[in-house]
């Protein structure tokens, strides 16, 4: 019989491997679902502007003013730098010395207000010169809601500004600034606007909704473990929690990451490190949620992904992995003055990088790997495998390995190179004496500075043995 695998999906090591479909992915690193149903090696990245003060990049964000002027910001060494239009050199902003390595901000009536949770809250109208905001409380988490600025304070208090004025925090006269306590364990975490409600989280992972009158306890502890992991696309928010990656549309959080549970937590303790849950940065770029998760090892496949980026595409409902040569310490996506959406990330070496640029990770080769399993719908029976057919773009440098085994144990796989894919469509005979087993593992890999390759699918010819 001949089995064709022509619809390559996402990762799934959650379910019993014996009921997995033939050709389901076991690992997938540095590949994109492009075109849909195929897999293409991701693009690389190059440097984005200079290194400013050379300190580790701890935050990235941008602000487009009402007149269309754009500023891109970085925080490094507790200093705030701005770049005009994302093309000018990073320059330290006036009154831009901070007391923390992270900042939050919000915009009201073309005034940006910003804070780091330790030093004075500040505001700017020109984007490059900041002024201390008199009477404004200290806080790191900001949101604009119902024409007010809300600040998540340093304990359990949420503050809000006078209507239509980001800089007016007076409590009397014509000013109507005020505050309220958000009950429950933990101090204030990330706050944001979703489904026309102000959503407030706490470090205990509690979530509250506020409509300007009523404060609603959603009775869940599924809020973000890392306030820096909260990101949204089309009003749908995603974040990291110790139980997984969650999505939120304004009602109750929903678990998205069952397919990669063993990368979030597992019995071997080799998934996301405990400290990373509180600090992991993320962003959304187009329809991808990108979470910098550190080094993780799925305890089913045994594969370690260094500097892992968990990539969730909510349009396709699909998880994949990236692995960057430089571990991201902050990520940000913005639309530049040419109307193009750009993804940038910072690293501990003080450099910001721009993804989707070139075929290398700033000069380093990109290693791409996919692994599949084939059992011809009969994992309990032996098979004799005869031929492998691969479908690729002509001229690619990807190679194919196979391993036959009776178990999923990693050490039982003895990988054999069977050939390259340079001709686009390849056909390889299995070696005599090495073509029998219950499970066939297929690995497609490449580690180079070459242009991206595309795998459109593959086919395996073989028969179940009933002796």
Q: Are strands 45-47 and 352-355 parallel, antiparallel or unpaired?
A: antiparallel
Token code pair at residue 454: 């595309």
Asked if pLDDT for residue 466 goes beyond 80, the answer is no
Q: How far apart are CA 36 and CA 431, in angstroms?
A: 33
- Looking at residue 313, its pLDDT comes to 96
Least confident of 2-6, 14-18, 365-369: 14-18
300-335 burial, b for 16+ CB within 10 Å, e for fewer?
bbebebebbbbbbbbeeebbbbbbbbbbbbbbbbbe
- Reported as a pLDDT band with limits 50, 70 and 90, residue 379 is confident
Q: Which of 18-22, 60-64, 428-432 has the highest mean pLDDT?
A: 60-64
Mean pLDDT of 120-138: 98
pLDDT, tens digit (0-9, with 9 covering 90-100), for 432-459: 766 888 999 999 999 999 999 999 999 9
Rounded to an integer, the average pLDDT of 257-276 is: 96
Per-residue model confidence (pLDDT) at position 467: 66
pLDDT class for 465, splitting at 50, 70, 90? confident
3-state secondary structure of 18: helix
Span 161-170, mean pLDDT?
98
Q: What is the CA radius of gyration of the chain?
A: 25
CA 130 to CA 108: how far, in whole Å? Answer: 15
What pLDDT is recorded for position 413? 86
Average pLDDT (375-396) is 92
pLDDT in the model for residue 269 = 94
Round the average pLDDT of the chain to a whole number and report it: 95
* Residue 345 confidence class, pLDDT cut points 50, 70, 90: very high
Q: Give the C-alpha distances (Å, rounded to integers) separating 332 from 68, 123, 293, 401, 409.
A: 19, 21, 15, 37, 39
Give a three-class secondary structure readout of 354-375. Answer: EECCCCCECCECEEEEEEEEEC
pLDDT for residue 112: 98
Q: Which domains does the chain have, with CATH numbers?
A: 2-42+368-464 (2.60.120)
DSSP codes joined into one string, 426-458:
EEEEPPTTS-EESEEEEEEEEEESSPP-EEEEE
**Average pLDDT for 51-57:** 97
**pLDDT recorded at residue 433:** 66
pLDDT surpassing 90 at residue 286: yes
pLDDT tens digit sequence for 421-438: 999 999 999 877 668 889
Of 327, 388, 396, residue with least CA distance to 359: 396
Average pLDDT (272-277) is: 98
Any idea which residue has 């990073």 for tokens? 90
Among 28-32, 98-102, 196-200, 414-418, which is the least confidently predicted range? 414-418
């Amino acid at each position: 019989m001949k089995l064709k695998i022509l619809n390559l999906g996402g990762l799934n090591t959650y379910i019993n491997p014996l009921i997995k479909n033939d050709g389901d992915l076991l690992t997938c690193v540095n590949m994109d679902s492009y075109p849909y149903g195929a897999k293409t090696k991701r693009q690389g990245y190059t440097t984005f502007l200079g290194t400013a003060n050379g300190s580790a990049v701890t935050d990235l964000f941008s602000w487009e003013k009402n007149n269309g002027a754009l500023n891109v910001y970085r925080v490094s060494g507790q200093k705030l730098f701005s770049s005009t239009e994302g093309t000018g050199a990073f320059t330290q902003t006036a009154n831009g010395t901070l007391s923390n390595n992270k900042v939050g901000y919000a915009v009201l009536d073309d005034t940006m207000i910003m804070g780091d949770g330790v030093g004075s809250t500040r505001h700017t109208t020109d984007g490059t010169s900041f002024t201390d905001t008199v009477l404004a409380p200290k806080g790191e988490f900001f949101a604009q809601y119902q024409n007010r600025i809300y600040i998540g304070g340093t304990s359990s208090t949420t503050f809000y500004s006078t209507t239509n004025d980001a800089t007016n925090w007076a409590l009397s006269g014509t000013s109507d600034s005020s505050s309220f306590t958000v009950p429950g364990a933990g101090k204030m975490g990330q706050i944001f606007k979703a489904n026309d409600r102000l959503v407030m989280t706490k470090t205990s992972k509690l979530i509250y909704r506020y409509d300007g009158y009523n404060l609603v306890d959603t009775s869940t502890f599924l809020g973000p473990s890392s306030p820096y992991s909260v990101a949204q696309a089309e009003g749908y928010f995603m974040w990291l929690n110790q139980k997984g990656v969650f999505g939120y549309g304004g009602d109750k959080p929903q678990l998205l990451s069952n397919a990669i549970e063993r990368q979030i937590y597992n019995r071997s303790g080799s998934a996301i490190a405990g400290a990373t849950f509180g600090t992991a940065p993320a962003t959304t770029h187009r329809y991808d949620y990108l979470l910098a998760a550190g080094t993780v090892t799925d305890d089913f496949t045994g594969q370690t992904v260094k500097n892992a980026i968990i990539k969730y595409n909510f349009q396709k409902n699909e998880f994949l992995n990236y692995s960057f040569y430089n571990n991201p310490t902050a990520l940000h996506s913005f639309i530049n003055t040419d109307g193009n959406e750009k993804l940038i990330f910072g690293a501990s070496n003080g450099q910001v990088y721009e993804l989707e640029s070139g075929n290398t990770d700033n000069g380093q080769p990109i290693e791409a790997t996919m692994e599949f399993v084939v059992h011809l719908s009969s994992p309990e029976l032996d098979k004799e495998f005869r031929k492998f057919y691969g479908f690729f773009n002509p001229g690619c440098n990807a190679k194919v390995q196979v391993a036959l085994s009776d178990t999923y144990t990693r050490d039982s796989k003895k990988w054999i190179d069977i050939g390259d894919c340079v001709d686009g469509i390849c056909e390889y005979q299995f070696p005599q004496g090495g073509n029998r087993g219950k499970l066939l593992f297929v690995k497609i890999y490449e580690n180079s500075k070459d242009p991206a390759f595309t795998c459109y699918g593959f086919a395996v010819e073989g028969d179940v043995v009933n002796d």
